[in-house]
A and B are shown apart, each in its own frame.
Chain A
Amino acid sequence: MALTQSDIDSELAHVRESYDKARAEGAPATDHPPRDFPPYRSSVLRHPKQPLVAVHGDPETVELHTPVFGHTDITAIDNDLTVQHQGEPLGERITVSGRLLDSRGRPVRGQLIELWQANASGRYAHLRDQHPAPLDPNFTGVGRTLTGDDGSYHFTTIKPGAYPWRNHENAWRPAHLHFSVFGAAFTQRLVTQMYFPGDPLFAYDPILQSVTDDSARQRLVAHYDHTLSRPEWSLGYRWDIVLDGPSATWIEEGR
């Protein structure tokens, strides 16, 4: 029998109860989702069952350095997803800005941020996306940029639509932008998703709800920022990204 939303809801409620109970008993808050998260069915056979092996931060390890991305890796308009084709993509034009910071609040400079997303109808320009919503010939949904000296980044794009997926019956992903980020160390690698405030689908989505801690989950939701909206042009959203990292990266100067 197909899984229903109420099956997923009760699994999510159970996970949340266990988390709240553990917290009440003094367990620390968790920032990242568990790799084993049964309500997200694809995680069931794809998470290691053995504990991760800890490597303590020796600054000589490769992972405490980072791949080099330079200005030849991007072109000036790579951060504008609305100008990659002959015409303008359909949808609500948005500008998304924020800063890339390390856990000490220092800007992470000159690093690569990659973004990808569905179009305004909730369809990816991807052969494997069979959702019967229209493709937009003027939208591929891919952008990239390098962070500035203050860690800032800016993208111009359109607001993506929600889309269905096959995790369970009537599963819909809230609108989101996918982000891939490099930090000042390979260990700071982050792939994540940004959501839009007030989306009614939040509560039903096992991917967002895999982040059980309320304040951690809130950090995945951008803020609407009227000062970033441009007259007669776009609605502005602010979303800062904070990278985790082993303590050994803290002794290095911010780059």
Chain B
Amino acid sequence: MSERLVPAQELAPAKGLASAEGLAPTEALAPTPSHTVGPFYGYALPFPGGGEMAPAGHPGAITLHGHVRDGEGAPVPDALVELWQAGPDGSLAGAGGSMRRDPVTGGFLGRNGVDFTGFGRVATDADGHWTARTLPPGGPAAPAAPYISVCVHARGLLHHLFTRVYFPENAEANAADPLLASLDPARRETLVATAASPPGTYRFDIRLQGEGETVFLEFR
């Protein structure tokens, strides 16, 4: 079998790549293709407190958790779930320090326990389960309903998947949300978390394929 990689073509400055000003609006650089995260990202991507997005002891904190399952309903034990959201006031500014480092040891310090960063990253456990503690998202402008954006990576996923978590309390806003309204009602439910007990706990399962397959999104 012959390898079909063609000889390297330098992306030379003459072609515009090295220009800090960017290309003319009609030109576009072809993107770097995606690849799977593989099974061995464990020392690289998860970080201490990655699911602790809410400040410690915040009275408004909610717990969001669920399973990631494959086309046979089997748990996916090597998925990485990333969460990104607006603060309760709708602010998208976030805060730095999501995965702070110790300047002396170089080790992870993780969250500072005080700032709401809006960004969370959790690996699934052996049961395919993940948990995050965060604050309810606010914004965006009506008619859109508040949501948490989710990016799913896993071995076997050559390209990550995007989805969203909406909340059952916002029934009125959800009904008016253009994305939710555009979906078949049965599929729409896959994007709305289920209120569980104790109060403030929500369940959001991610089904990659098959029965109850989660609605996944692409952005244009």
Chain A residues near B (Cβ < 8 Å): 9, 13, 16, 29, 31-35, 37, 40, 42-50, 52-58, 60-75, 77-78, 84, 99, 101-107, 114-116, 118, 124-126, 128-129, 140-142, 144, 150, 178, 180, 186-187, 189-193, 197, 200, 202-204, 207, 210-211, 214-221, 223, 240-244, 246-248, 250, 254
Contacts and interface: CB of A to CB of B under 8 A. Distances in A.
Contact of A67 (B42, B84, B144): B84
B58 interface: no
Contact of A190 (B22, B34, B82, B148): B34
Contacts of A190: 31-32, 34
Given A55-B179, A61-B140, A67-B94, A203 B22 contact: no
Given A46-B71, A48-B216, A103-B28, A53 B183 contact: yes
Given A55-B218, A68-B117, A105 B96 contact: no
Contact of A35 (B148, B158, B219): B158
Given A125-B43, A126-B42, A215-B6, A191 B156 contact: no
A73 B101 contact: yes
Contacts of B162: 63, 187
Q: How large, as a class, is the contact surface on chain B?
A: 35 or more
A78 B35 contact: no
B118 to A, nearest CB: 7
Majority-rule SS of B interface residues: loop
Given A35-B159, A105-B17, A178-B37, A72 B96 contact: yes
Given A55-B218, A72-B101, A47 B209 contact: yes
Interface string B1-34: 1111110111100001111111101011111111
A48 B208 contact: yes
Contact of B101 (A78, A129, A193): A78
